[in-house]
Amino acid sequence: MVECIIVGRDVNMIKFIMDTGAMFTCCNSKTFDIRLHEKDMSDSETKLLGGFVKGSSVKFYKCRMKQFTIGNVDMGEQNIWITFDERVTDAVLGMDILQQVIFAANPYNKKMYFCEDADDYNDNFELEAV
């Protein structure tokens, strides 16, 4: 699980499952904003995505975040995909966002590191046995 701070209408901290096989970052609307209703998203771009519920596609709405922070990396404005389908319970951090950062796992301390660029990586990532 990766804790991310998202800023839409409100500021929220969401625990995402990091999935390098997922193309898009997705979550349920209730995880994102409990006051949001499907009618509020009527003008938004939609996608039907599979893989969340066995044997059926799920409708997702594109939602612009004012800020998306993963680890200590503020990524500014980002799009995520939200659904109102209650069968979707996982929040997934997909490659649409992950491809914008450097990420590495340290097997010695069991932590994930997220870096903006090579300098950030060189300054902050140490792979040493604890």
Question: What's the pLDDT tens digit per position in 10-49?
Answer: 899 999 999 999 999 999 999 888 888 999 999 999 999 8
Residues 85, 45 within the same domain: yes
Residues 49, 91 within the same domain: yes
Cβ–Cβ < 8 Å for 21, 49 = no
- What's the number of domains the chain is made of? 2
Cβ–Cβ < 8 Å for 32, 12 = yes
Quick count: other Cβ atoms within 10 Å of Cβ 107?
8
pLDDT at 4 over 90: yes
Q: Which of 28-32, 75-79, 124-128 has the lowest mean pLDDT?
A: 124-128
Residues 94, 126 within the same domain: no
Residues 85, 118 within the same domain: no
Please indicate whether residue 106 or residue 16 has the higher confidence score (pLDDT): 16
Cβ–Cβ < 8 Å for 12, 5 = yes
Residues 89, 29 within the same domain: yes
Q: What does the pLDDT average to over 77-106? A: 94
Residues 126, 78 within the same domain: no
Predicted confidence at residue 111, as pLDDT, reads 84
Please indicate whether residue 130 or residue 93 has the higher confidence score (pLDDT): 93
Predicted confidence at residue 48, as pLDDT, reads 92
pLDDT at 52 over 80: no
- Which residues form the domain of 45? 2-99
pLDDT at 109 over 70: yes
Residues 125, 89 within the same domain: no
Q: How far apart are CA 39 and CA 19, in angstroms?
A: 29
Residues 61, 10 within the same domain: yes
